[in-house]
Amino acid sequence: MTHKMPAVVLASGNGSNLQTLIDLKSANKLDLDIKLVVSNNPEAFALERAKNAKITTWGKSHKSFESREAFDLNVIAEIEKAGILSNQKLIADGKDITKSSQVGCIILAGYMRLLSTAFIQAFSGRILNIHPALLPSFAGAKGGLDALNYGIKITGCTVHFVDEIMDHGPVIIQAAVPHKAGESLDELMQRIHKLEHRIYPQAVQWLAEDRLSLKDRVVYLKENSKSEKLASLGNQELSFLVSPPLEKF
């Protein structure tokens, strides 16, 4: 492992995806350096998790700001303070610093707030999100519940780049799970959550290794002869299908 990609995690709630990233990073399995954790909910457990891991936090309610944009401008400023430059600064610098340590990514991990255009443009192409359904089906805040109520037989989770439309940007990796007969929403979501904890770090690692490229809205993954591929079909207990196949960290 060489260069570690600087990152900021935005989370509004429990933060189990954040915890997974922290744990894998501590175990030296991810080329990631979490510089800051931001929340629009000062009570979010995600902030506690960050503090326990000695990561800088910024947690303020969006309600104390006059607009979505005003809140986001503050978040952008905090991100820059943490050493990750916005696109505007990268361009304004006038030199090629695309490999500089100030190019980082923004990881949305249960961030229950729509981002303003200003924020998305500030970090376009560098924002990731995870959604608990197979996009483009069941976008929105209640993706899991909506899928179950619809009567789906297969659902899952999706990691994607963020664009200006909610849960719409280019897909990086998806994992599918069957809904077992009689399974409650909680049980189903627990299985999906377990998979999120595997596919999100995987997508982050691919980005850190600079192996993702984009054409139109299709994400391509560069092969790496050194990486050891794991099966794309899960074991009996988890029973999932994932694509692209997971790799060993």
- Which residues are documented as binding site? 15-17, 68, 112-115, 129
Site for ligand GRF, residues 52 to 81, rule: CB under 6 A: none
Q: Which of 3, 62, 131, 193 is catalytic?
A: 131
Q: How far is the CB of 118 from ligand GRF (least distance, A)?
A: 22
Q: How far is the CB of 10 from ligand GRF (least distance, A)?
A: 11
Q: How far is the CB of 109 from ligand GRF (least distance, A)?
A: 5
Q: How far is the CB of 102 from ligand GRF (least distance, A)?
A: 26
Q: Looking at this protein, which amino acid is placed at residue 38?
A: V
Site for ligand GRF, residues 124 to 153, rule: CB under 6 A: 130-132
Does position 16 bind ligand GRF by CB under 6 A?
yes
Size of the site for ligand GRF (CB under 6 A): 14
Helix axes 185-208, 143-150, angle to 10 degrees: 130
Q: Which of 104, 110, 169, 244 binds ligand GRF (CB under 6 A)?
A: 110
Does position 245 bind ligand GRF by CB under 6 A?
no
Q: How far is the CB of 189 from ligand GRF (least distance, A)?
A: 7
Interface with ligand GRF by CB under 6 A: which range of 10-18, 60-68, 96-104, 146-154? Answer: 10-18
Relative to beta strand 218-221, strand 154-161 is unpaired
Does position 86 bind ligand GRF by CB under 6 A?
no
Nearer to ligand GRF, 90 or 127 (CB): 127
Q: Which residue of this chain has its Cβ atom nearest to ligand GRF in the complex?
A: 110
Give the x-and-dash track for 155-184 against ligand GRF (CB under 6 A). Answer: --x---------------------------
Tell me the DSSP string of the chain.
--PPEEEEEE-SS--HHHHHHHHHHHTT-S-EEEEEEEES-TT-HHHHHHHHTT-EEEE--GGGSSSHHHHHHHHHHHHHHTT---HHHHHHT-S--TTSTT--EEEESS--SPPPHHHHHHTTTSEEEEESS-TTTT-STTHHHHHHHHT-SEEEEEEEE--SSTT-SPEEEEEEEEPPTT--HHHHHHHHHHHHHHHHHHHHHHHHTT-EEEETTEEEE---TTS-BPPSB--TTT--EEESPPB--
**Catalytic: 131?**
yes
Cα pseudo-dihedral 235, 240, 246, 249, rounded to 10: -60
Does position 198 bind ligand GRF by CB under 6 A?
no
- List of residues contacting ligand GRF (CB under 6 A): 11, 13-17, 109-110, 130-132, 157, 193, 196
Residues acting as catalytic residues: 131
